[in-house]
């Protein structure tokens, strides 16, 4: 079925709901279950249904809608950024149209958002998207990129970007651990060459070297930002002949896995080994022990990117092409002074 021939009734019939329900979902009205919204939006995407915002734009007005393109909707990291976007858009009287790049549909969804549905586009990139430079350059509307995590720092020079100071945040983490007396500090990073992880790894290494501590490659273990990978990486570190007395995980979710592995090893956090993360997602204050971490101002990043996009829509030139917001050390209970007794390596008894 051609997308231009798809009607509201077609979407309602396939989703098994009324036309009124479809209209409420599309216009972000309250009073519907999340499962209903998800089912309707799945059908909207499958059928290629296009809301008539483009007709409204052609009539001479704006859509009063901002597009937001994210890798997924199942991440506390992304949710916090979107909350910052939503708060700022609401104050400006703007609606949001959120789409994802799941199932390799990034280029298709980007093109759809650019076809008169929105006045500007925010692309949130904690992971690289399947969007090439030509696709981005061809967009006929203002674009701002939040948290660009590309392989090279200057991959996206054609758009304004908003990001956190990852290197300084990592130095803050290392300075904190070093101040507690730790000198053998393990690192759980991310495999590949994504800029966020590379900057945090650089901060880890520079922190050690500045303190006069030589780098030890066996203390650096790669993961993939997931809790399971954090667990596996921490087990590798704990099974070294001389285990670390502290672990710096380059994201909070990996740190959660590390804490789980330490407990599984029969050790205590922070009495036997300290753990520090990075991001300060909401769950960081809810785990046990509460996680010491580096706070990325995710809400402010979303808000700052939105303010920048709103200015571009109004024809105001961006003051800077790259806005870097500061990170902050948040000390909780997962870090403590260097333990007096050494950690026993090896797998704990069954």
pLDDT at 128 over 90: no
What's the chain's Rg over C-alpha atoms? 23
Please give the pLDDT value at position 221. Answer: 98
Q: For the beta carbon of residue 347, count every other beta carbon within 10 angstroms.
A: 11
The Cα 299–Cα 292 span in angstroms is: 19
Q: For the beta carbon of residue 13, count every other beta carbon within 10 angstroms.
A: 14
CB neighbour list of residue 159: distance below 8 Å, 6 or more residues apart: 136, 143, 144, 145, 321
Topology of domain 8-51 in CATH is 434 Repressor (Amino-terminal Domain) (1.10.260)
pLDDT at 155 over 90: no
Instruction: Tell me the average pLDDT of the chain.
Output: 86
The Cα 170–Cα 167 span in angstroms is: 5
pLDDT band at 183 (very low <50, low <70, confident <90, very high): very high
Topology of domain 166-295 in CATH is Rossmann fold (3.40.50)
**How is residue 315 annotated by DSSP?**
T
pTM, two decimals, is: 0.78
Q: Which helix (H) or strand (E) holds 65?
A: strand 65-70
- Mean pLDDT across the stretch 212-241? 97
Tell me which of 3.40.50.12780, 3.40.50.2000, 3.40.50.970, 3.40.50.2300 is the CATH number of domain 65-165+299-325: 3.40.50.2300
Cβ atoms of 237 and 247 within 8 Å: the answer is yes
Please give the pLDDT value at position 153. Answer: 47
Please give the pLDDT value at position 319. Answer: 76
Cβ atoms of 89 and 61 within 8 Å: the answer is no
Comparing CA positions, the residue from 132, 225, 129, 151 lying closest to residue 195 is 151
Of 42-46, 78-82, 171-175, 343-347, which range is least confident?
Answer: 343-347
Q: Give the start-to-end residue ranges of the domains of the chain.
A: 8-51, 65-165+299-325, 166-295
Residue count of the chain: 350
Q: Which pLDDT tens digit goes with each residue over 286-338? A: 999 999 999 999 999 999 999 999 999 998 887 778 899 999 999 999 999 99
Structure tokens at 314: 């109004």
Please give the pLDDT value at position 60. Answer: 46
pLDDT at 41 over 90: no
pLDDT band at 58 (very low <50, low <70, confident <90, very high): very low
Please give the pLDDT value at position 8. Answer: 80
Please give the pLDDT value at position 111. Answer: 62
Please indicate whether the domains covering 8-51 and 65-165+299-325 agree at the CATH topology level: no
Please give the pLDDT value at position 56. Answer: 46
pLDDT at 143 over 50: yes
């Amino acid at each position: 079925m051609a997308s231009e021939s798809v009607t509201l009734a077609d979407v309602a019939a396939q989703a098994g709901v009324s036309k009124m329900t479809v209209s409420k979902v599309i216009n972000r009205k309250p009073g519907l279950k999340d499962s209903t919204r998800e089912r309707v939006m799945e059908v909207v995407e499958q059928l290629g249904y296009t809301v008539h915002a483009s007709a409204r734009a052609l009539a001479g007005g704006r859509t009063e809608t901002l597009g937001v393109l994210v890798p997924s909707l199942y991440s506390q990291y992304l949710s916090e950024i979107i909350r910052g976007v939503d708060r700022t858009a609401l104050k400006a009287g703007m609606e949001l149209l959120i789409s994802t790049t799941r199932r390799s549909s990034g280029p298709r969804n980007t093109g759809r958002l650019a076809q008169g549905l929105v006045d500007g586009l925010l692309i949130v990139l904690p992971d690289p998207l399947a969007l090439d430079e030509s696709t981005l350059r061809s967009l006929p509307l203002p674009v701002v990129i939040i948290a660009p995590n590309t392989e090279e720092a200057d991959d996206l020079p054609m758009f304004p970007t908003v990001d956190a100071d990852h290197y300084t945040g990592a130095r803050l983490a290392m300075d904190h651990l070093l101040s507690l007396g730790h000198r053998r500090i393990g690192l759980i990073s991310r495999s590949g060459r994504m800029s966020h992880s590379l900057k945090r790894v650089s901060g880890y290494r520079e922190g050690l070297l500045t303190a006069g501590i030589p780098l030890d490659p066996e203390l650096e273990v790669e993961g993939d930002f997931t809790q399971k990978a954090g667990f596996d990486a921490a087990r590798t570190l704990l099974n070294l002949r001389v285990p670390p007395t502290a672990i710096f995980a380059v994201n909070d979710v990996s740190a959660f896995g590390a804490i789980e592995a330490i407990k599984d090893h029969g050790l205590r956090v922070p009495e036997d080994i300290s753990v520090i993360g990075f991001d300060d997602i909401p769950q960081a204050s809810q785990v046990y022990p509460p996680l010491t971490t580096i706070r990325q101002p995710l809400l402010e990043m979303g808000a700052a990117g939105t303010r920048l996009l709103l200015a571009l829509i109004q024809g105001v030139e961006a003051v800077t092409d790259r806005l870097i917001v500061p990170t902050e050390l948040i000390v909780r209970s997962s870090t403590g002074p260097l333990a007096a007794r050494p950690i026993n390596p090896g797998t704990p008894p069954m």
